Amino acid sequence: MGNIAGTADEIIRCARSLIIAGGYNGFSYADISEVVGIRKASIHHHFPSKVDLVRTLLVQYRQEAEAGIAELERHHPDPVDQLRAYTGYWAACIGDPTSSFCVCALLATQIPVLPPEIVLEVRAHFRALSAWLTAVLEKGAQRGRLAFSGTARSEAEGFMAAVHGAMLSARAYGDDQVFRVVTEPLIERLVAGRP
Amino acid sequence: MGNIAGTADEIIRCARSLIIAGGYNGFSYADISEVVGIRKASIHHHFPSKVDLVRTLLVQYRQEAEAGIAELERHHPDPVDQLRAYTGYWAACIGDPTSSFCVCALLATQIPVLPPEIVLEVRAHFRALSAWLTAVLEKGAQRGRLAFSGTARSEAEGFMAAVHGAMLSARAYGDDQVFRVVTEPLIERLVAGRP
DNA sequence: GACGGCCATCCTACTAGAAGGTAGGCTGAC
DNA sequence: GTCAGCCTACCTTCTAGTAGGATGGCCGTC
């Protein structure tokens, strides 16, 4: 039973949801072993150290994010729709405790106590996300679909920060609605040609 | 040596900066004992359990925040200036590792693994901050100093989320500038009577 | 097709150190 | 005399990580 990459994948999936719940120091090999139904030592077989596990997890997460964005761009040629699809994706995740936060955003809060290898991956995700949002805003402005006062870059940073802050507020209040309340006006404000 | 409340206060101050660095599970009594120059057992004398310590810390933090806002309102009667003073306060904090993040915002990220007593305090801070921002925005709109499309409440939630997200981005990039890049347009957008 | 080696997977059993916390004794100020 | 403050010494549980053994599938060889 269990295909070749099955167990390692299950460990990563489990670790991911545990990180989303409590961050890097908020979970242990023992926690994973309970959920996956495997001994601690067996986890060390797949991932020699905790840093190995989390770094692998992050590399995979970033690949998934990149693939997700590529898919999103195929489905939605319009920049406005792309922004809506992005926030819509997270709005759908917010309700599910195992995916209600961006892993990189959560780890970013703990950067001062994180192993440097992990920090590298987290930084890379922020840069990639910011670059994509900047490109979307630039494209939207060129096509006359979006309008904003500052640079595309600063506007993208503001957008990203607001989305992350919205995740945080949803968690703080224990109210999923807050995410939509914050993110929906965010896009409407950028759409060109409103009163 | 050490005045009456001296040691307990030093412990709290130390714990606060440790939480800002790595959250609830990111510090231990041993860490505090090293910094303060006191034995672990002596910390337990002042704060029997970790929950006691952090709850006390949060109660004090919330009082300080309340006092700070009251002071801020005395110095700045104008709602626009109040918003600027608020973000300006955090802009000044961002550079200092011991105060570069709101303790409650950082703890909020770990709510699923936090003791319930701590969650209560964190929630209370978010509600208080949101209520204050809502009041400022309402007052600003009444006086014709601020203009926005949604309700004052939803606008306040968006403002707070953006500020928290800006703290996160500054930490993620390791670049203090990002905080200002995100928060400055935030206020300018709300100021009434622009082109 | 049987044989033997190889290797991935998972196990039991263990380690050293760190976690939060306790018991009880000393000291010095009021 | 009492008690706050701090200490040494200790406890239990959890932490990541290690050593080494069982199992079992896959390989080429005869």
What would the pLDDT profile of A1-37 be if each residue is shown by its tens digit? Answer: 334 458 899 999 999 999 999 999 999 999 999 999 9
CB atoms B126 and A178 under 8 Å: no
- Is residue A41 a part of any domain in this protein? no
Nearest by CB: B172 against A26, A126, A149: A126
Which positions ≥6 away from B55 have C-beta within 8 Å?
Answer: B117, B118, B121
Query: Binning pLDDT at 50, 70 and 90, where does residue A195 land?
Result: very low
C-beta separation of A62 from A119 below 8 A: no
- Residue A163 belongs to domain spanning: 58-190
- Is residue A12 a part of any domain in this protein? no
The region that residue A115 occupies, defined by phi over 0 for left and psi between -120 and 50 for alpha, beta otherwise, is beta
- Is residue B195 a part of any domain in this protein? no
Give the count of domains, chain B: 1
In 3D space, the residue among B146, B14, B16, B22 whose CA is nearest the CA of residue A22 turns out to be B22
- Is residue A23 a part of any domain in this protein? no
- Is residue A27 a part of any domain in this protein? no
Query: Binning pLDDT at 50, 70 and 90, where does residue A193 land?
Result: low
Chain B contact present for A152, CB below 8 A:
no
Distance CA B130, CA B141 (A): 16
The region that residue A179 occupies, defined by phi over 0 for left and psi between -120 and 50 for alpha, beta otherwise, is alpha
- Is residue B1 a part of any domain in this protein? no
- Protein residues contacting strand C, judged by Cβ under 7 Å: A 2, 4, 7-8, 37-42, 45-46; B 27-31, 40-41, 44, 48-51
- Is residue A1 a part of any domain in this protein? no
C-beta separation of A109 from B106 below 8 A: yes
Would you state the pLDDT for residue A42? 95
What would the pLDDT profile of A106-125 be if each residue is shown by its tens digit? Answer: 999 999 999 999 999 999 99
Would you state the pLDDT for residue A6? 84
Q: The CATH number of the domain where A186 resides is what?
A: 1.10.357.10
DSSP annotation of A49: S
Strand D: which residues 14-33 of A lie within 7 A (CB)? 27-31
- Is residue B181 a part of any domain in this protein? yes
Which residues are paired to A88 by β-bridges?
Answer: none
Q: Which two tokens stand for residue B49?
A: 């359990």
Q: How many CA atoms lie within 13 A of A186 on its CB side?
A: 31
In 3D space, the residue among B29, B71, B34 whose CA is nearest the CA of residue B47 turns out to be B29
Would you state the pLDDT for residue B16? 97
- Please determine, for residue A75, whether its predicted confidence score (pLDDT) is greater than 90: yes
Cα B44 to chain center, whole Å?
Answer: 26
Tens-of-pLDDT digits for all 195 residues of chain B?
334 458 999 999 999 999 999 999 999 999 999 999 999 999 999 999 999 999 999 999 999 999 999 999 999 999 999 999 999 999 999 999 999 999 999 999 999 999 999 999 999 999 999 999 999 999 999 999 999 999 999 999 999 999 999 999 999 999 999 999 999 999 999 997 554
Distance CA A155, CA A170 (A): 22
Which of 4-33 (B) contact A at CB < 8 A?
Answer: 21-23, 25-26
Q: Which two tokens stand for residue A144?
A: 């006359």
